[in-house]
Structure 1
Amino acid sequence: MAMTAAVRRRPVAAADRRWAARWGTVAGLLVTLVALLLAPATPASAHAVLASTSPTASAVVPNAPAEVVLTFSEGVRKVPDKIRVIAPDGSRADRGEPTFNGTVVTIPVDSSGARGTYLVSYRVISADSHPVSGAFTYSVGAPSTPPTDSGTDNRANPVVENAVKVVKYAGYLGLLLLVGPALVLAALWPRRLSRRGPARLAWSGLGLLVFATLAELWLQVPYTAGGSLFDVTGSGLGDVLGSAYGTAHLVRLGLLAASAFLLRPLLAGPIGRTDGIILAVLGGAALFTWPLAGHPAASPAPAVSVVVDAVHLGSMAVWLGGLVMLAAFLLRRADERELDAILPIWSRWATLAVAALLLAGTVQALIEVATPAALVDTTYGRLLLAKIGMFALVIGVAAYSRALVRRRTAAGRPGSMRRAVVAELAITAVVLGVTANLVQTTPARTAVANVAGESAGYFSSTLTSPLYSLQVELDPAARGNNSIHLYAYTPDNRPQPVKEWKATAALPSAGIEPIQIPLLGLTDNHAYGEISLPASGEWQLRFTLRTSDIDQATVTATVPIK
């Protein structure tokens, strides 16, 4: 009778544990739901690039503007006190807080400012959570020695930048240490072997993953603001948690909490089909939090990028996590009969995971790199090439492992198989390091666009003669329609009245004779014109200014047109 009661209590206790695990999962999902409900509704956009400014960078304007306008390629968010306008004497010229309206940032400035050169420095957050910073100058009346901004430093803190890469690496490592044991214990683990070692590995992976997620949230505050490791304020942390980046990490923590309740019975013994499906769904959902907090969510094709990045990450976790289980446990503890059954199945899984990695990686590269030239001209492209090269080495070692399995020699020679697996893991450890750098590097498509925007799209130069100096601005300095602004100054940098303006443009290398540029005098020392340049090349611009009834001088400039 006592035995019967004990038998009855065991199924009841097991059922109670299953229900407790499921209720714990529900609690974790509720945390996730709350994070999603509190998330801001922000549209996906690309890594931001400063597209244009008003006044134009390096321009000389006759009067001090009432505002400075920055226009980015995509919407940006504010970093407190990181947008400043410095007057020629080093004082602050900005007045009040800048306003953010999608891609446009408007900075109110003192419209009665002194003559000379002004410095505009900025640091904002792009849609992919990475900071964008820079500076440019403009001049009122005439150029002067550019001021310096001693009150702020928009450069990234190198300690914080490296710490972000380290914790991202730790997150990837925690993911594969969690996925590998969970997958192998659910489908391939021999019943006679103890689960204690794999269970410890899985809990270590989960702990490392939670730590990395919390550390990323903490580091995001000084990373975006340009501060040191411990420059974290309540308001700064609140801004991070309220962003799309923070929401993705909070959702990840909620999904990990929900998964932990089902992971515990799995690590102790086999679980039911329903619980296994729920655990797989939770794990799959958690994978999407990585791309939603990085470059993929802000790519030109966000839906595609997010899916392929999640597939890429999941395939990596399955493949490398399984390799860790093989090297650490199965090849050491399983007997030859068990290995004969396990290794062919694992080999098929690894092949599918590698195929998914290659496919997803190819799609990612096409989106993020965009052009073949960007592979060698950008840091992102060169890191990607390094990753591809090392991945090719891993594929070679994996092919050797698969050949051992096909020849049915792996079970009888576990030492050879173990050495091949260790070699795979050693190379992929470096690949993970490259990946941690990649996700912190400006995508190649954006870097190329930024370089193009700096090297082409605007021409500014000061030409001198004994009578005057002439500030020339040509926009966009490309084939097709261009606008030209001319500002004349005396040798002591005062506005020079001009009685007559003449300008021509020629391209001798293409046989294009001088073309007259119609000019309209806007003020005594400022003229404006429009010209269509039909071909690329080194255009010769010639300007003749008459400053009195008898005094005139001619200056020339060579402008590269792309």
Structure 2
Amino acid sequence: MTAPTPLPRRTRAAHPLARLAAGAGLLVVLVALLLVPAGPASAHAVLVSSSPASSAVVQGAPAEVVLTFSESVRQVTDKIRVIAPDGSRADRGGPVFDGGVVTVPVDPEGGRGTYLVSYRVISADSHPVSGAFTYSVGAPSTVPVDSGADSGADPAVSLTTRVAKYLTYVGLLLLVGPVLIFTAFWPRRLSRTGPARVTWTGFALVVAGTLAGLWAQVPYTTGGGLFDVDGGSLRDVLGSDFGLAHLVRLGLLAASAFLLRPLLAGREGRADRVILAILGVAALFTWPLAGHPAASPAPPLSVFADAVHLGSMAVWLGGLVVLAGFLLRSAEEHELDAILPVWSRWAAIAVVALLLAGTVNALIEVGSPGALVDTTYGRLLIAKIALFALVVGVAAVSRNLVRRWREAARPRPLRRALWLELAVAAVVLGVTATLVQTTPARTAGANIAGSGSTLFSTTVTSSLYSLQVEVDPAEPGSNSMHLYAYQPDNRPQPVVEWRATIALPSAGIEPIEIPLLPLTDNHATGEINLPASGEWQLRVTARTSEIDQATVTTTVPVR
């Protein structure tokens, strides 16, 4: 029997253009990571309400400020602060956390004027939530300055966090690919040295990315710089769900290292393979348990789907690395005849699982079709889907080449297609690394107290008084109105008689009289039904004595 003819030597080197494409893909990823801005999009929970409400004017100083978030949050030391009008701290004692409700005791003897509330907490998916709002006691005044308020995420910290995620993704596929191929169909006659080096490189990248992620999480949590890490804050991170997931991952990696050596040397037994598979599957779950899926509306489903998504990616792309980098270069024709059809089926199954799991996660995290285009998360998801479609298209070409490669006896076109597939996939991983640090679309559109609230509040002035106007919720339908009159020195201005009308000229709605009920000397309230959206014209007349009165007007946007 004639020995199989080795593949021509000219097929044993990767095409320069293919390598250039792969390198360009990685470069695009790193540039994208640098260009994507950090900022409020890092927050994955939202402040849905507060008491006192943002911009509210209350007559007496409250004994506590209550913040209500969309999900459970945990404390960052000294990052919830209430600043009095004179710049001093008005909060007294530590805040009390109860799920998504945070109660902050404040000085009930505080002075009149505007108070500033700033906060930074950690959401259930390990990401910081920060912001600020004001409320006033008696009358508004100049907003005080909080020198210790949160200044936002440090760009170096945000970049390190994304790069750490990216390293763990790349390391995972480099680790899984060779292990899978060695276990399934690596020809015994071929040396394992090259793929073994790829495996250990992947192992090192996962470890390095995990450690870097743990380190960066400390300043990411506290709002400091990359090297602002102390023992207490590090302990807080290690004791969190995020830290626990990363520590478990490191432990599973350490255990698997003892089983990788015999596998990479070809001396493993069946029990080694089973244990290594169990450790690998367990490690996959540490990624979703440290991110969005753990805080989704359906955590078990999200965690499982994300683990399947990640595992399918590692199987598909990791196998491609070994196939393009080693097997197509070194295996003989009869070996490739047996390997390529099997691998093609495996890759197809992995892509289908990847697509299904990704669809499940997208449905959970996006929440509504409009969020796909209205949120950063949705737009990044669209970009990822488009790139994934491109990868699948290249994979279809690759699979077609697999079916007919032996007819041409030239695997070079197949290798080019595989390298292109990997290059585009590298960009997809970069988008994914950014996506997991971005506010899920399901929460990005939620109302944020102080910015997204529908409460309308404004102050208008006349020669006799200033008038604080509040309309809640400033939407079509029933609305409550509160009017507060103040003298120029911010003392309450007694009002003898109140009159108010509201009209919508653009819709032909003539002035509607608003019945007002005086609650105190300077405070009146009323209820009004606004039948349509638009720019409503509010006119208020306050008589302060038998002969003195003044009229003020303002526009109330009703949406």
Check whether TM > 0.5: yes
Indicate conservation of the 8 Å contact 1:484/1:528, yes or no: yes
Instruction: Specify the SS of the correspondent of 2:370.
Output: helix
Asked if 1:337 is matched to 2:342, the reply is: no
Match among 241, 254, 266 for residue 238 of structure 2: 241
CA separation in 1, counterparts of 2:209 and 2:407? 36
Indicate conservation of the 8 Å contact 1:404/1:410, yes or no: no
Asked if 1:357 is matched to 2:354, the reply is: yes
Cα displacement string for residues 175-201 of structure 1 (whole angstroms, at most 9, x for unaligned residues): 111100100000020110011221221
Q: Which residue of 2 aligns with 1:41?
A: none
Query: 1:497 is aligned with what amino acid?
Result: P
Instruction: Specify the SS of the correspondent of 2:189.
Output: coil
Match among 52, 75, 79 for residue 76 of structure 2: 79
Match among 314, 322, 325 for residue 322 of structure 2: 325
Q: Which residue of 2 aligns with 1:231?
A: 228
Moved more, 275-284 or 72-81: 275-284
Q: Which residue of 2 aligns with 1:421?
A: 418
Q: Which runs of 5+ in 1 are unaligned?
A: 1-45
Query: 1:267 is aligned with what amino acid?
Result: L
Indicate conservation of the 8 Å contact 1:370/1:444, yes or no: yes
Match among 486, 491, 494 for residue 488 of structure 2: 491
Q: Which runs of 5+ in 2 are unaligned?
A: 1-42
CA separation in 1, counterparts of 2:123 and 2:368? 22
CA separation in 2, counterparts of 1:410 and 1:537? 71
Residues 169-248 of structure 1: pairs in structure 2 closer than 5 A: 169-248=166-245
Q: Which residue of 2 aligns with 1:378?
A: 375
Query: 1:189 is aligned with what amino acid?
Result: W
CA separation in 2, counterparts of 1:439 and 1:538? 40
Change (3 A) 1:467 1:152: closer
Residues 261-272 of structure 1: pairs in structure 2 closer than 5 A: 261-269=258-266, 271-272=268-269
CA separation in 2, counterparts of 1:391 and 1:57? 43
Q: Which residue of 1 aligns with 2:93?
A: 96
Q: Which residue of 1 aligns with 2:291?
A: 294
Cα displacement string for residues 214-258 of structure 1 (whole angstroms, at most 9, x for unaligned residues): 221221111110011121122212211221111211222222223
Q: Which residue of 2 aligns with 1:530?
A: 527
CA separation in 2, counterparts of 1:402 and 1:392? 15
CA separation in 1, counterparts of 2:449 and 2:68? 16
Instruction: Specify the SS of the correspondent of 1:449.
Output: coil
Change (3 A) 1:410 1:334: farther
Query: 1:230 is aligned with what amino acid?
Result: F
1:546 Cα deviation from its structure 2 partner? 1.8
Q: CA RMSD in A?
A: 2.1
Q: Which residue of 2 aligns with 1:255?
A: 252
Task: Report the number of matched residues.
Answer: 517
Query: 2:283 is aligned with what amino acid?
Result: A
Indicate conservation of the 8 Å contact 1:380/1:441, yes or no: yes
Q: Which residue of 2 aligns with 1:280?
A: 277
Asked if 1:304 is matched to 2:301, the reply is: yes
Indicate conservation of the 8 Å contact 1:210/1:253, yes or no: yes
1:510 Cα deviation from its structure 2 partner? 5.0
Change (3 A) 1:453 1:287: farther
Asked if 1:57 is matched to 2:49, the reply is: no
Asked if 1:548 is matched to 2:550, the reply is: no
CA separation in 2, counterparts of 1:161 and 1:476? 36
Change (3 A) 1:452 1:85: closer
Indicate conservation of the 8 Å contact 1:410/1:417, yes or no: no
Change (3 A) 1:452 1:370: farther
Indicate conservation of the 8 Å contact 1:521/1:528, yes or no: yes
Indicate conservation of the 8 Å contact 1:88/1:118, yes or no: yes
CA separation in 2, counterparts of 1:476 and 1:280? 56
Query: 1:141 is aligned with what amino acid?
Result: G
Match among 428, 432, 436 for residue 433 of structure 2: 436
Match among 107, 115, 125 for residue 122 of structure 2: 125
1:534 Cα deviation from its structure 2 partner? 4.2
Moved more, 226-235 or 251-260: 251-260
Change (3 A) 1:494 1:274: same
Q: Which residue of 2 aligns with 1:401?
A: 398
Instruction: Specify the SS of the correspondent of 2:227.
Output: coil
1:542 Cα deviation from its structure 2 partner? 3.0
1:508 Cα deviation from its structure 2 partner? 4.7
Indicate conservation of the 8 Å contact 2:72/2:101, yes or no: yes
CA separation in 2, counterparts of 1:90 and 1:453? 20
Q: What is the TM-score normalised by the length of structure 2? A: 0.88
